């Protein structure tokens, strides 16, 4: 059985303008020790999916439909206290903007050992401190810096400290939300490489959330492309990155520079994602899609399986496969 | 070390402020209508004494010489003689200052602690009835007219119920009793302090509560609060150890700022309760045209406020490592 199975997950935010349907019918599964990346532009619902897996939706957020099975248990229906015990012990998180993820008035080491102590009553303070030392070594922060405050760290060190914190309770799943966005390209590459190595060494599953498809392709086994709250393409890294099917995926790939590929003009994707309070009928990408036809506004595309590990939601592929 | 630089800078700023205050006070007293000689010299003095004092204060010299004399006199602790008491001003003030400091430090610390605690609870229960009641309560007590509140407290608790003394700081029968121990004396002062402290507390804790509440609401939106929650910490730990210490920082600043204003209220409180402190002395000196006493009281109050601000700065550096390192 998969470590994590998400079925038909829909999440909405109550706003003054009405229910903002941030995530619509998302399903995926993640095996032990594997990594999965979600890619999409801001507001596509990728962070909302990540937050819901830890029960950390903001107050106005609400799961409308669906199930999240973690180790076979539906974590959407367990009590707040059970959820608290599950957090960090089983699922931890590397936050977007590590700069702000650390409390400025507490020493970095204390913020990590705090998590250890909160989840195992048998561990003494000294023991927790030793564990933090080990974690610092693991992520490559000198242990003399343990007693420092976050503002004394450089951006890269903060990021490493946040990774060390995520590893503190030896979780089975880590959700990494834009973990390297605020860093310069060189530090970013180092940290991604180290994260990948750590993940392989420790056998932890990772869900990687980013707007940058090349980063996700670097670290993840599987990739899910999200647009306007929906998954539009899902498959193995090789399939999605090398033979992208959905017009949005292709547009994403040509809007980012590559280090190794030929120098080409970057193509921005014109237009804006649709308003999710009142989402359009049919395909949500059609207004920005170069290949859209009249049909796209009538029918909401269903999943089409291209290969055993590659599927896409675009009407053009439905047609190729013939009538269902 | 950063802390050294920070404190040096603050001390220099405070010294500059103090010199400005010193100068402004000098100008105010010289610019006031009337003859400075008649203001600084007690009409009841003998002509010889008056001449001596005029020479000492340099009142017949040009104004810049007078200023230099004034500054010199300040640094040598020579504030002249009080008209009313006929004693050196410094001695008079020196006796009153501890009473004021005692009353104010304790009521400010108490109201800040209570304000921080209640503000934290209010923010944590945002939108619930508890929060609304606390906010309304804070606004009401904060805007109440201080002398009115003081008189009501005296009327109810001292006059009607007789729980507390009506005026003063000590009971003579206890302090004159040779057998009374230090504890009995301290308790006696404490007993006298309850009502004036309650008055000051009522007026001040509300503003700290409101500042803490809004600061806490801002802090709760921070990413590190989300981190703390994701770490599976208990809600009480998130509130007390992650949010509150950060949220309390603006309150500490406001304690420093509100001190200056609380001294004004202090004159009123001290007058209503006949608390023998420096605020009451100031009111008295002004109404009696006791210029040397008034001038020195102003200066001393300024000095105390500046010193308190320095203490707040040190406290701030202690609470916020971003300043310390």
- Find the residue in A nearest to B249 (Cα): A105
Kindly list the residues from chain A whose CB atom is less than 8 angstroms away from the CB atom of residue B322. Answer: 104-105, 149, 151
Instruction: Give CA angle at A286 (A280, A292), nearest 5°.
Output: 140
**Residue B237, min C-alpha distance to chain A (Å):** 10
The b/e string for A20-32 (b: 16+ C-beta within 10 A; e otherwise) is: bbbbbbbebebee
H helix count then E strand count, chain A: 11, 12
Closest CA to A221 of A303, A96, A127, A310: A310
Condensed to tens digits (0 to 9), the pLDDT of residues B261-306 reads 666 667 888 888 888 888 888 888 888 878 888 888 888 888 888 8
**Residue B82, min C-alpha distance to chain A (Å):** 50
Instruction: Give CA angle at A29 (A27, A31), nearest 5°.
Output: 175
Partnered with residue A312 across adjacent β-strands are A233, A304
Partnered with residue A230 across adjacent β-strands are A227
pLDDT for B236 = 92
Q: What share of chain B is helix, strand, coil (3-state, %, to 5)?
A: 80, 0, 20
pTM of the model: 0.82
Partnered with residue A65 across adjacent β-strands are A10
Kindly list the residues from chain A whose CB atom is less than 8 angstroms away from the CB atom of residue B229. Answer: 56, 87
pLDDT for A260 = 60
- Contact flag B229-A105 (C-beta cutoff 8 Å): no
Instruction: Phi first, then psi: give them for residue B118, nearest 5 degrees.
Output: -70, -35
pLDDT for A65 = 92
The b/e string for A143-174 (b: 16+ C-beta within 10 A; e otherwise) is: eeebebbbeebeebbbbbbbbbbbbbbebbbb
**Residue A84, min C-alpha distance to chain B (Å):** 5
Kindly list the residues from chain B whose CB atom is less than 8 angstroms away from the CB atom of residue A104. Answer: 224, 246, 320-322
Distance from C-alpha of A142 to C-alpha of B166, rounded to nearest angstrom: 65
Question: From the list A95, A148, A151, which residue is nearest B227 (CB)?
Answer: A95
Distance from C-alpha of B270 to C-alpha of B99, rounded to nearest angstrom: 10
Residue A100 near chain B (CB below 8 Å)? yes
Reduce the DSSP state of residue B294 to 3 states and report it: helix
- Find the residue in A nearest to B325 (Cα): A152
CATH number of the structural domain B95-324? 1.10.3720.10
**Is the predicted ipTM greater than 0.95, yes or no?**
no
- Under DSSP, the state recorded for B166 is S
Which helix (H) or strand (E) element contains residue B118? Answer: helix B89-124
Crossing angle of helices B182-219 and B244-272, rounded to 10°: 130
Distance from C-alpha of A114 to C-alpha of A164, rounded to nearest angstrom: 13
Residues 247-266 of A with CB under 8 A from B: none
Domain-wise residue ranges, chain A: 4-90+171-321
Crossing angle of helices B244-272 and B278-287, rounded to 10°: 40
Instruction: Give CA angle at B71 (B29, B267), nearest 5°.
Output: 50
- Contact flag B223-A152 (C-beta cutoff 8 Å): no
Give whole-number Cα distances, B265 to A99, A137, B107, in Å: 43, 57, 12
Kindly list the residues from chain B whose CB atom is less than 8 angstroms away from the CB atom of residue A148. Answer: 325
**Testing the interface with A: which of B231, B250, B315 to mutate, by most A Cβ within 10 A?**
B231
End-to-end CA distance of chain B: 7
Distance from C-alpha of B57 to C-alpha of B65, rounded to nearest angstrom: 10
In this structure, which topology does domain A4-90+171-321 adopt according to CATH? Answer: Rossmann fold (3.40.50)
- Contact flag A106-B242 (C-beta cutoff 8 Å): yes
CB A224 within 8 Å of CB A234: yes
CB B197 within 8 Å of CB A75: no
Reduce the DSSP state of residue A101 to 3 states and report it: helix
Kindly list the residues from chain B whose CB atom is less than 8 angstroms away from the CB atom of residue A92. Answer: 230-231
Q: For each of chain A's 324 residues, which pLDDT tens digit applies? A: 789 999 999 999 999 988 999 999 999 999 998 999 999 988 898 999 999 999 889 889 999 999 999 998 999 989 989 999 999 999 999 886 767 889 999 999 999 999 999 998 888 999 999 999 999 988 888 988 988 999 898 888 888 899 899 999 989 999 998 887 777 778 788 888 888 888 888 889 999 999 888 888 888 999 999 999 999 999 999 898 888 999 999 888 887 766 565 656 667 777 788 888 888 888 888 888 888 888 888 888 888 888 888 999 988 887 666 544
- CB neighbour list of residue B200: distance below 8 Å, 6 or more residues apart: B103, B104, B107, B108, B111, B262, B265, B266, B269
Distance from C-alpha of A199 to C-alpha of A179, rounded to nearest angstrom: 14
Strand A173-177 relative to strand A91-94: parallel, antiparallel, unpaired? parallel
Distance from C-alpha of B223 to C-alpha of B229, rounded to nearest angstrom: 10
Question: From the list A56, A100, A149, which residue is nearest B222 (CB)?
Answer: A100
Question: From the list A114, A148, A151, which residue is nearest B233 (CB)?
Answer: A114
Instruction: Phi first, then psi: give them for residue B88, nearest 5 degrees.
Output: -55, 135
Q: What stretches in chain B show pLDDT beneath 70? A: 1, 33-42, 57, 260-265
- Under DSSP, the state recorded for B206 is H
Q: How many CB pairs lie under 8 A apart between chains A and B?
A: 76
Closest CA to B321 of B8, B14, B2, B7: B2
Distance from C-alpha of B150 to C-alpha of B200, rounded to nearest angstrom: 9
- Contact flag B232-A89 (C-beta cutoff 8 Å): yes
Question: From the list A54, A84, A105, which residue is nearest B321 (CB)?
Answer: A105
pLDDT for B117 = 96
Instruction: Give CA angle at B203 (B199, B206), nearest 5°.
Output: 135
Distance from C-alpha of A3 to C-alpha of B80, rounded to nearest angstrom: 85
Q: Which residues of B touch A (CB under 8 A)?
A: 222-224, 226-234, 237, 241-242, 245-246, 319-322, 325
Question: From the list A88, A100, A104, which residue is nearest B322 (CB)?
Answer: A104
CB A40 within 8 Å of CB A225: yes
- Under DSSP, the state recorded for B62 is -
């Amino acid at each position: 059985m998969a470590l994590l199975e998400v079925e038909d997950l829909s999440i909405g935010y109550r706003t003054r303008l009405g229910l903002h349907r941030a995530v619509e019918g998302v399903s995926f599964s993640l095996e032990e020790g594997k990594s999965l990346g979600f890619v999409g532009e801001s507001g596509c619902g990728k962070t909302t999916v990540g937050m819901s897996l830890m029960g950390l939706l903001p107050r106005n957020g609400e799961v409308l439909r669906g199930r999240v099975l973690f180790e076979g248990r539906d974590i959407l229906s367990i009590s707040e206290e059970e959820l608290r015990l599950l957090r960090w012990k089983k699922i931890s998180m590397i936050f977007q903007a590590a700069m702000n993820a650390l409390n400025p008035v507490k020493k970095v080491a204390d913020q990590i050992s705090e998590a250890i102590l909160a989840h195992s009553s048998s561990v003494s303070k000294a023991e927790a401190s030793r564990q933090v030392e080990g974690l610092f070594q693991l992520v490559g922060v000198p242990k003399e810096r343990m007693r420092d405050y976050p503002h004394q760290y450089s951006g890269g060190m903060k990021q490493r400290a946040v990774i060390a914190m995520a590893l503190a309770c030896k979780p089975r799943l880590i959700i990494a939300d834009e973990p390297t966005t605020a860093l310069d390209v060189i530090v970013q590459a180092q940290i991604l490489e180290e994260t990948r190595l750590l993940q392989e060494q420790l056998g932890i599953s990772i869900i990687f959330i980013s707007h940058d498809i090349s980063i996700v392709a670097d670290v993840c086994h599987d990739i899910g492309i999200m647009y306007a709250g929906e998954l539009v393409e899902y498959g193995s890294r090789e399939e999605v990155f090398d033979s992208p099917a959905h017009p949005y995926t292709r547009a994403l790939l040509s809007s980012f520079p590559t280090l190794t590929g030929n120098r080409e003009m970057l193509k921005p994707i014109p237009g804006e994602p649709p308003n999710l309070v009142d989402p359009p009928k049919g395909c949500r990408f059609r207004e920005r899609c170069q290949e859209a036809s009249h049909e796209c506004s009538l029918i909401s595309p269903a999943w089409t399986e291209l290969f055993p590990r590659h599927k896409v939601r675009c009407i053009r592929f439905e047609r190729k496969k013939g009538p269902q | 070390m950063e802390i050294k630089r920070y404190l040096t800078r603050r001390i220099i700023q405070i010294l500059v402020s103090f010199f400005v205050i010193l100068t402004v006070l000098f100008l105010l007293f010289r610019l006031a209508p009337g003859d400075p000689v008649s203001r600084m010299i007690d009409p009841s003095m003998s002509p010889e004494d008056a001449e001596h004092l005029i020479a000492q204060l340099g009142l017949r010299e040009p104004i810049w010489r007078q200023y230099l004399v004034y500054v010199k006199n300040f640094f040598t602790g020579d504030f002249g003689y009080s008209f009313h008491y006929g004693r050196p001003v410094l001695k008079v003030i020196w006796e009153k200052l501890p009473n004021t400091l005692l009353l104010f430090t304790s009521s400010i610390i108490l109201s800040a602690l209570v304000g921080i605690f209640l503000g934290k609870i209010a923010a944590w229960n945002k939108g619930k009835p508890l929060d609304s009641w606390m906010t309304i309560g804070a606004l009401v007590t904060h805007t109440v007219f201080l002398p009115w509140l003081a008189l009501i407290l005296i009327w109810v608790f001292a006059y009607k119920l007789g729980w507390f003394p009506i005026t003063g700081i000590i009971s003579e029968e206890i302090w004159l009793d040779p057998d009374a121990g230090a504890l009995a004396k301290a308790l006696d002062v404490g007993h006298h302090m309850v009502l004036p402290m309650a008055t000051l507390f009522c007026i001040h804790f509300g503003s700290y509560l409101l500042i803490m509440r809004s600061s806490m609401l801002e802090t709760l939106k921070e990413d590190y609060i989300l981190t703390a929650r994701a770490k599976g910490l208990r809600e009480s730990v998130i509130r007390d150890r992650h949010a509150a210490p950060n949220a309390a920082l603006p309150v500490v600043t406001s304690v420093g700022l509100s001190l200056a204003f609380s001294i004004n209220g202090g004159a009123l409180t001290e007058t209503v309760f006949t608390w023998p402190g420096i605020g009451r002395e100031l009111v008295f000196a002004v109404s009696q045209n006791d210029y040397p006493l008034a001038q020195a009281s102003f200066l001393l109050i300024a000095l105390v406020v500046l010193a308190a601000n320095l203490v707040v700065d040190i406290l701030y550096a202690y609470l916020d490592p971003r300043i310390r390192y």
